[in-house]
Chain A
Amino acid sequence: MPEFLDDFLFTYQTLIYALGVNGLLALSMYVVLALGQLSLGQAAFMGLGAYVSALLTVKLGLPFPLVLLAAMLAPALAALCVGAPTLRLSGVYLALATIGLGEVQRIFFINSELTGGALGLSGIPTKGGLISIYGSLALALIAFAFVARSKIGRAMEAMREDELAAGALGVDLPAYKLGALVVSAMLAGLAGALNAHVSSFISPNDYGFDAAVTILSFALLGGIGSPFGPVLGAFILTLLPEVLRPLADYKTVVNGSIIVLAVIFMPRGLLAWRMGRAGAATGRPK
Chain B
Amino acid sequence: MFAQQLVNGLVVGSTYALFALGFTLMFGVLGVINLTYGFYLSVGAFLALFATQHGVSIWLALPLAALASGCVAVLIDGLLLTPLRRAKAPELASLMVTLGATLLLYSLANAALSTDIRRFPPGVIDANALEIAGIRITMTQCLIIAAAGIIVSVLLWVMNGARIGLGLRALAERPDAAALMGVNAGALVRLVSLASGTLAGASGVLIGLNYNAIQPYMGEVMMLKGFAVIILGGLGDIRGALVAGLVVGMLETLTAGYVASSWKDAVGFVLLVLTLWIRPSGLFGRLAVKRA
Residues of B within 8 A of A73 (CB): none
- Taking a contact as CB atoms closer than 8 A, the residue among B89, B93, B106, B272 that contacts A96 in the complex is B272
Contact of A257 among B90, B100, B220 (CB under 8 A): B100
**Cβ of B90: which chain A residues have Cβ within 8 Å of it?**
36
Give the contact stretch, choosing among B136-144, B147-155, B258-266.
Answer: B258-266
Asked if B227 lies at the interface with its beta carbon under 8 angstroms from chain A, I say yes
A54 / chain B contacts, CB cutoff of 8 Å: none
Q: Shortest CB–CB separation between residue B220 and chain A, in angstroms?
A: 7
Given contacts A85-B276, A256-B100, 13 further A-B contacts (CB under 8 A): A36-B90, A38-B95, A86-B276, A92-B95, A93-B235, A100-B231, A103-B265, A110-B262, A252-B106, A256-B104, A260-B97, A260-B104, A262-B100
A213 touching B287 in the complex, CB below 8 Å, given contacts A104-B269, A253-B107:
no
CA distance A252 to B111 in the complex (A): 11
- Pairs across A and B, CB under 8 Å, 24 listed: A37-B92, A85-B277, A86-B280, A92-B91, A92-B235, A96-B231, A99-B227, A100-B272, A103-B266, A104-B270, A107-B265, A107-B266, A108-B266, A164-B290, A209-B224, A213-B102, A253-B103, A253-B107, A257-B100, A259-B100, A259-B101, A259-B103, A264-B83, A264-B97
**When the two chains form their complex, are residues A104 and B273 in contact, meaning their CB atoms are under 8 A apart?**
yes
Q: Chain A nearest CB: distance from B240 CB in Å? A: 15
Question: Nearest Cβ distance between residue B233 and chain A, in whole angstroms?
Answer: 13
Contacts A85-B277, A99-B227, A100-B273 given; does A253 touch B108 at CB 8 Å: yes
| A242-273 vs B, Cβ < 8 Å mask (1 yes, 0 no) | 00000000101101111110111001000000
Tell me the B251-292 residues at the A interface (CB within 8 Å).
Answer: 260, 262-263, 265-266, 269-270, 272-273, 276-277, 280, 287-288, 290, 292
Q: State which residues 75-102 of A face B: CB under 8 Å.
A: 81-82, 85-86, 89-93, 95-97, 99-101
Tally of A-B Cβ pairs under 8 angstroms: 130
Residues of B within 8 A of A (CB): 33, 80, 83-84, 89-93, 95-97, 99-108, 220, 224, 227-228, 231, 235, 260, 262-263, 265-266, 269-270, 272-273, 276-277, 280, 287-288, 290, 292
B92 and A91 contacting across the interface, CB-CB below 8 Å: yes
Asked if residues A259 and B276 are in contact (CB atoms below 8 Å), the reply is no
Task: Tell me the bound Cα distance from A255 to B228 in angstroms.
Answer: 26
Q: Does A281 count as interface, using CB distance less than 8 angstroms? A: no
Structural contact, B263 and A111, CB atoms closer than 8 A: yes
| Cross-chain contact of A89 among B95, B263, B272, B280 (Cβ < 8 A) | B280
Is A82 within 8 A of B273, CB to CB? yes
* Smallest CB separation, A196 vs chain B (Å): 24
| Contact A97 B262, beta carbon cutoff 8 Å | no
CA A96 to CA B92, docked complex, whole Å = 11
Considering the complex, give the chain B residue whose CB is closest to the CB of A251. B107
> Which partner residue on chain B sits nearest A107 by CB separation?
B266
Chain A hits for B276, CB < 8 A? 82, 85-86, 93, 97
Residues of A within 8 A of B95 (CB): 38, 92, 95
From A101, A209, A260, residue with most partner B Cβ within 10 Å: A260
What's the least CB distance linking A113 to chain B, in Å? Answer: 12
Inter-chain contacts of B292 with A (CB < 8 A): 164, 168
By a CB distance below 8 angstroms, the chain B residues around A93 are 231, 235, 276, 280
Q: How far is the CB of A44 from chain B (nearest CB, A)?
A: 11
Chain B residue numbers with a CB within 8 Å of A257 are 100, 104
Tell me if B96 and A103 are in contact (CB < 8 A). no
**Chain B contacts of A260 at CB under 8 A?**
80, 97, 100-101, 104
**What are the residues of chain A within 8 A of B108 when measuring CB–CB?**
253
The answer, among B89, B104, B262, B288, for a CB contact under 8 Å with A90, is: B288
By a CB distance below 8 angstroms, the chain A residues around B80 are 260, 264
* B91 and A90 form a contact (CB under 8 A): yes
Bound Cα distance A201, B141 (Å): 43
**Which chain B residue lies CB-closest to A212?**
B99
Which single residue of chain B is at the shortest CB-CB distance from A257? B104
Chain B neighbourhood of A90, CB < 8 A: 91, 288, 290
Closest chain B CB from A35 CB (angstroms): 11
- Picked from A99, A111, A250, the residue with its CB within 8 Å of the CB of B224 is A99
Most buried by B among A40, A97, A262: A97
Assembled-state Cα–Cα distance A100/B277 (Å): 13
Q: Give the CA-CA distance A164 to B99 in the complex, in Å.
A: 26
Residues of B within 8 A of A36 (CB): 90, 92
Q: Which of B263, B266, B270 has the most CB atoms of chain A within a 10 A radius of its CB?
A: B266
